[in-house]
């Protein structure tokens, strides 16, 4: 399943489609706080684009772009962004995730600071969801490869 596809139509179509899917996912993440969508849905769409790349271009070519180490770093940095914004709000004498306290740090009005804080949370959630969704698929398909190696 995860070998490189021989069909040039499939490979070219996937190569054309992947950037557009990723742009759409970024749109969903960036507009998450005032329209349908958000970090979770955008992260899943971003992961789907990488899974499409993996199905069509094989495990090895995808690993060059997105190695296991990158996935681990991205998933943990997503959680770090989420928790970090919350802890910064705690340090600025507010509650956990009380974005209006970020106004002192960003030099904007409290209402604008709330909007920016939620945007930061969405970006963190999107990164973590993308990395974990891809990691689940990655582990399933890599297990398949190692089993084939044992058979040979």
Find where tokens 């094989």 sit. 58
Nearer to other proteins, 36 or 93 (CB): 36
| Cα 91 from Cα 97, distance rounded (Å) | 11
| Cα 135 from Cα 129, distance rounded (Å) | 10
| Cα 136 from Cα 116, distance rounded (Å) | 31
Nearer to other proteins, 51 or 73 (CB): 51
Q: Is 71 in the site for other proteins (CB under 8 A)?
A: no
Among 41, 63, 77, 135, binds other proteins (CB under 8 A): 41
Nearer to other proteins, 38 or 86 (CB): 38
Nearer to other proteins, 37 or 86 (CB): 37
What Rg value do the Cα atoms of the chain yield, rounded? 19
Q: What tokens does 11 get?
A: 């490979």
Among 18, 51, 88, 92, binds other proteins (CB under 8 A): 51
Chain center to CA of 115: 20
Nearer to other proteins, 3 or 67 (CB): 3
Binding piece for other proteins, criterion CB under 8 A, among 47-55, 61-69, 79-87, 91-99: 47-55
Among 38, 78, 86, 126, binds other proteins (CB under 8 A): 38
Q: Is 14 in the site for other proteins (CB under 8 A)?
A: no
Residues 113-152 binding other proteins (CB under 8 A) are 133, 136-137, 140-141, 143-144, 147
Taking 3-state DSSP, the helix, strand and coil percentages for the chain, each rounded to the nearest 5, stand at: 80, 0, 20
**CA 33 to each of CA 37, 105, 149, 150: distance values in angstroms, whole numbers, following the listed order:** 8, 21, 47, 49
Q: Tell me which residues touch other proteins (CB under 8 A).
A: 1, 28, 36-38, 40-41, 44-45, 47-48, 51, 133, 136-137, 140-141, 143-144, 147
């Amino acid at each position: 399943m995860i070998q490189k596809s021989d069909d040039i139509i499939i490979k070219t179509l996937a190569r054309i489609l992947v950037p557009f899917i990723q742009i759409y996912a970024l749109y969903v993440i960036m507009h998450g706080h005032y329209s349908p969508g958000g970090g979770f849905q955008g992260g899943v769409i971003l992961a789907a684009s990488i899974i499409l790349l993996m199905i069509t271009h094989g495990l090895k070519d995808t690993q060059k772009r997105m190695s296991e180490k990158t996935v681990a770093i991205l998933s943990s940095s997503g959680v770090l962004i989420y928790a970090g914004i919350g802890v910064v709000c705690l340090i600025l004498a507010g509650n956990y995730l009380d974005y209006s306290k970020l106004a002192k740090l960003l030099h904007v009005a409290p209402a604008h600071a709330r909007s920016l804080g939620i945007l930061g949370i969405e970006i963190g959630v999107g990164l973590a969801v993308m990395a974990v969704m891809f990691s689940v698929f990655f582990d399933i398909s890599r297990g398949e490869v190692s089993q084939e190696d044992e058979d040979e």
